[in-house]
Amino acid sequence: MEVGEITLVVFAVLVGFFAKGVTGIGGPMLAVPVLAGFMGVEYAVVVIAIPTFLANCWLLWKTREGAVGIWWFMTPLLIAGVFGTVLGAWILTSVDDRIISIVLAAIVVIYIIWYLVGPDVKLTDRWAKRLSTPVGFFGGALAGATGIAAPVIATYVHALEMARAAFIFAVTLPFWTLGVAQLISYAGLGAYDQERIVAGVIAAVPTLAVLPLATRLGEKMSHRTFQFAVLVVLAASAVRLIWSVF
């Protein structure tokens, strides 16, 4: 890797995983679009999968008290998510980068609109259980194809109106599970070569360095202010992806 590429990877990871350390979401959501605009979607997704897996391990440990009382909807979501991820990994290695770029940009825009509008209606337990399997499958397919599952899974969990620790644990556990499926699928499909593995390891260093700091700062700063700053970066990333297509 050249110095410019290493710098870009580190910058994207610092921005993305700082957001993830504060809110539990945002790592791949920010890092993948930034890298994809310069290096291609497939490269960005398979590289960021490595630090994302490590970040999810760290967040699961930090919010483990939130694991109580979530398994009634989490179990079917996780099982369906694994199958969806395998399908998404095949899509990633078989479909034109430009198509995935458009899909990824659309996902980011939808997420921004969702945040600005804000789902105010809490899902009933009955509907939450019914939706857990399709949410898991679709979220897994998105994760496998784009490296991002937050627009589906985080929206679903957000609608359950859970406490902060429970929310972060509930969104991180599927991300972790899907991350394992991603890594296995990408490796099996030959998506990793020496350069991409090295890039992923390099990206893991700033990821693990920034997470503790982000968690501490997140407890002190305005959550709403930070979220709007994240939206600005997301919007810029979506514009960059669309520009790269045309």
77-103 pLDDT, tens digit each? 989 988 888 888 787 777 776 777 787
- In this predicted structure, the answer to whether residue 213 has a pLDDT above a threshold of 80 is yes
Average pLDDT of the segment spanning 34-43: 79
- The one-letter amino acid code at 243 reads W
Per-residue confidence band for 51, with pLDDT thresholds at 50, 70 and 90: very high
Whether the CB-CB separation of 183 and 49 falls below 8 Å is answered with: yes
> 13-17, 41-45, 130-134, 227-231: lowest mean pLDDT where?
227-231
CB 212 within 8 Å of CB 21: yes
Q: Rounded to whole angstroms, how far apart are CA atoms 171 and 153?
A: 7
- Output the pLDDT for position 197: 92
Helices 3-23 and 41-62 cross at an angle (nearest 10°) of 40
What is the C-alpha to C-alpha distance for residues 7 and 38, in angstroms, rounded to an integer? 12
Instruction: Note whether 78 and 175 are within 8 A (CB).
Output: no
Q: How many domains does the chain have?
A: 1
Q: Distance between CA 80 and CA 213 in Å, rounded? A: 34
Which one-letter amino acid corresponds to residue 52?
T
Radius of gyration of the chain (CA): 17
Which amino acid is it at 115?
A: Y
pLDDT band at 223 (very low <50, low <70, confident <90, very high): low
Residue with the bigger pLDDT between 99 and 195: it is 195
Q: Does the structure show a pLDDT above 90 at 57? A: yes
d(CA 245, CA 243): 5
pLDDT at 130 over 90: no
For the chain, how far is it from start to end, CA to CA, in angstroms?
27
What does the mean pLDDT of the chain come to?
81
> How large is the average pLDDT for residues 228-238?
72
60 or 111, which is more confident: 60
Mean pLDDT confidence for 51-66: 89
Note whether 18 and 93 are within 8 A (CB).
no
**How confident is the model at residue 123, as a pLDDT?**
66
What is the pLDDT, as a whole number, of residue 56?
A: 92
* Domain extent at residue 110: 3-245
**18 near 210, Cβ under 8 Å?**
yes
pLDDT of the residue at 163: 73
pTM for this model (two decimals)? 0.75
Are 31 and 16 within 8 A, CB to CB? yes
In whole angstroms, give the CA distance from residue 127 to residue 61: 29
Instruction: Find the range with the poorest average confidence among 65-79, 163-177, 222-236.
Output: 222-236
| Residues whose CB falls within 8 Å of the CB of residue 174, separated by 6 or more in sequence, listed in order | 74, 77, 78, 81, 136, 139, 149, 153
Weakest-pLDDT range from 64-78, 149-163, 220-234: 220-234
* CB 142 within 8 Å of CB 152: yes
